[in-house]
Amino acid sequence: MIYLSKNVIHHILKDGSERYPEECCGIIFGKLNESGEKTAEYAETAANGSVKSENYHRFEINPEIMLQAELTARKKKLDIIGFYHSHPDCEAFPSEFDRTHALPVYSYIIMSVVKGKAVKTKSFVLSAEDMQFSEEKIIICNKE
């Protein structure tokens, strides 16, 4: 389960709409508790580092950006709890590319963006046992 504040979900949806028709992507910072529940504190936009001609259906976060995100998380005493990206004119469901590039524990929030408008948002977690995604419940909190 992942808890998102109104500010975090607003940031994610806005990023997906603004970067349409390309895939957007970003990093989600927050806390992970002992039972595996995640609480997002904020989300940060990341440049899509995939080959420009593939940006309409691929995302990649470059290692330099990931290193900076790790340093930011440490400084703020937070964890990187997940990532988000959009699927322009496609379902909010992980592709095979998403699955083969994912790691267990993290939340992968995917939003379907149709004609520039975010229409569906889901979260997934990769199982370490069978390396398959399962849907994760998203709870929108009242806190900003």
Residue 86: per-residue pLDDT = 97
* In the chain, where the domains are located: 2-140
pLDDT, mean over the chain = 93
**Residues 1-11: pLDDT tens digits?**
999 999 999 99
pTM: 0.94
Interval 29-52 mean pLDDT = 90
State the fold for domain 2-140: Cytidine Deaminase; domain 2 (3.40.140)
Q: What is the DSSP string of the chain?
A: -EEE-HHHHHHHHHHHHHHTTSPPEEEEEEEE-TTS-EEEEEEEEE---S-GGGTTT-----HHHHHHHHHHHHHTT-EEEEEEEEEETS-SS--HHHHHT--TTSEEEEEEEETTEEEEEEEEEE-TTT--EEEE-EEE-S--
Report the alpha-carbon distance of residue 89 to residue 129 in Å, rounded.
31
Report the alpha-carbon distance of residue 86 to residue 118 in Å, rounded.
8
Paired tokens of 2:
């992942």
List Cα–Cα distances, 97 to 10, 25, 125, in angstroms. Answer: 26, 14, 15
